[in-house]
Amino acid sequence: MMSRFWPMFRKEFIQMRRDRLTFAMMVGIPVIQLLVFGYAIQTDVRNLPTVVLDQSRTPTSRDLIAAFQNTGNFRVIAHVDGRPELDAAIARGDAQAGIIVPYDYPRDLARGTTATVQVIVDAADPLSSQAALNAAAGVAQARNLSILSRAADRSIPIEARVRPRYNPGLRSPNYIVPGLVGVILTMTLVLITAMAIVRERERGTLEQLIVTPITKTELMLGKITPYVGVGLLQMTAVLILGRFVFDVPITGNILLLYGVSLIFIIASLAFGLLVSTLVRTQQQAIQASFGFMLPNILLSGFMFPRQAMPEIAQWLGLLMPLTYFLKVVRGILLKGVGLEALWQEVLILAAFAVVLIVASVRRFRKTLD
């Protein structure tokens, strides 16, 4: 039983090591991706370039503009003298927000009638405009409350105290980096094994291999096992960089994390293997892998919260191992929870691994038809 697994494993390992460029890419690409994604993906929008048209030019208006700046969402880059200038700055893209304080602002405020201040936002990018809208509304609300409570001579009636648990600083890297562990593993491992059998077919070595008594299971397992090590290596690199470059906490049990990752790695490799049995050329293997990757990244909840997706997209997301793995990684790294909270996801991942391996072994034929 399985006696031909080791020769197969050893051969794959030597070939993997000898292919320096691929090996370097397998370890180098995760690091680059982590740095790029980690720095670039910032869902908390700050420092929107803002132009100000202050028609009243009074201490009261300057006070208001300072309040806007203090939210951290607006960064005043210029003061302009007229509306056309302000519109032009936003149209050109120099500014993404404009604040207009009218002549009557201080007068209305003093009189007790409603004073208006206009905030114009470039909503072409919904994420940043949303942040700006919230911030602007927040500034007005805070002012309103303080003025009204002073007038009524009492403290504000209700205050909702929101405590952001698990990621108190609301930092994007805390959300993105754990997810990246899963995305990087999916990306590289599926592609590597998708090529595995097709490459032998194209080079003509598969014919020689299947004329030997090696069993399908020995062949498949021997092929993917060396890459389990690659997956664990990639994951370790991402975790270390995440911890020391992006300050992502490692709250939970690291051994549990490695254990579950092992299951996820096997599932990813097995999926690649299944692809490898379905396609005829390396080119098709690459296309199929990317076709698998994109929905994974979009629907798994790596970038966009799944709760916000239409129902059908949520259902599709459930078909992807990454969806479950993301819950596990974020759960362990950020919340510090253990198996008692995650056992369902772990079981589903294990089922994925088993089903995918069995499917690819069954799909594979030791004949040339």
Partner 1 sequence: MDAAVETRELTRRFGALTAVDALTLRIERGEVFGLLGPNGSGKTTTIRMLCGLLEPSSGSALVTGIDVTVAPEQVKQRIGYMAQRVGAYEDLTVAENLTFYAGIYGLRGDMMRTRVGEVVAFLSLGDRLGQLAAQLSGGWKQRLGLACALVHRPGLLFLDEPTAGVDPAARRRFWHTIHDLAASGTTVLVTTHYMDEAAQCGRLGMMSRGHLIALGTPDEVAAQVGGRTLEDAFVVLQQRDEQ
Binding stretches for partner 1 (CB under 8 A): 3-4, 6-8, 10-11, 14-15, 18-19, 203-205, 207-215, 366-369
Is the Cβ of residue 118 or residue 205 nearer to partner 1 in the bound state? 205
Is the Cβ of residue 15 or residue 141 nearer to partner 1 in the bound state? 15
Question: Rounded to an integer, what distance in angstroms lies between the CA atom of residue 369 and that of residue 227?
Answer: 28
- Give the shortest CB-19-to-partner 1 separation in angstroms: 7
Q: Three-state DSSP class for 162?
A: coil
Q: How many C-beta atoms lie closer than 10 Å to residue 87's C-beta?
A: 16
- Give the shortest CB-270-to-partner 1 separation in angstroms: 22
Is the Cβ of residue 3 or residue 155 nearer to partner 1 in the bound state? 3
Q: Which amino acid is at 77?
A: I
Is the Cβ of residue 222 or residue 252 nearer to partner 1 in the bound state? 222
Give the residue ranges of DSSP H helices in 204-320.
205-210, 216-245, 254-278, 282-299, 311-317
Is beta strand 74-79 parallel, antiparallel or unpaired with respect to 118-121?
unpaired
Q: Which of 224, 246, 178, 227 is nearest to 26 (CA)?
A: 227
- Give the shortest CB-215-to-partner 1 separation in angstroms: 8
Question: Rounded to an integer, what distance in angstroms lies between the CA atom of residue 140 and that of residue 71?
Answer: 12
Is the Cβ of residue 9 or residue 304 nearer to partner 1 in the bound state? 9
Tell me the two tokens of residue 169. 């600083």
Question: Rounded to an integer, what distance in angstroms lies between the CA atom of residue 148 and that of residue 152?
Answer: 6
- Give the shortest CB-221-to-partner 1 separation in angstroms: 14
Is the Cβ of residue 79 or residue 203 nearer to partner 1 in the bound state? 203
Is the Cβ of residue 243 or residue 366 nearer to partner 1 in the bound state? 366
Q: What is the DSSP string of 44-64?
A: S---EEEEEEESS-SHHHHHH
Q: How many residues does the chain have?
A: 369
- Give the shortest CB-261-to-partner 1 separation in angstroms: 29
- Give the shortest CB-20-to-partner 1 separation in angstroms: 11
Is the Cβ of residue 48 or residue 197 nearer to partner 1 in the bound state? 197
Inter-residue contact 122 to 97 (CB < 8 Å): yes
- Give the shortest CB-3-to-partner 1 separation in angstroms: 6
Tell me the two tokens of residue 228. 């389990």
Region of 46 on the Ramachandran plot (φ > 0 left; ψ -120 to 50 alpha; else beta): beta
Question: Rounded to an integer, what distance in angstroms lies between the CA atom of residue 311 and that of residue 315?
Answer: 6
Cα–Cα distances in Å, from 316 out to 130, 313, 319? Answer: 27, 5, 5
Is the Cβ of residue 134 or residue 205 nearer to partner 1 in the bound state? 205
- Give the shortest CB-223-to-partner 1 separation in angstroms: 13
Inter-residue contact 183 to 302 (CB < 8 Å): yes
- Give the shortest CB-207-to-partner 1 separation in angstroms: 5
Inter-residue contact 226 to 16 (CB < 8 Å): yes
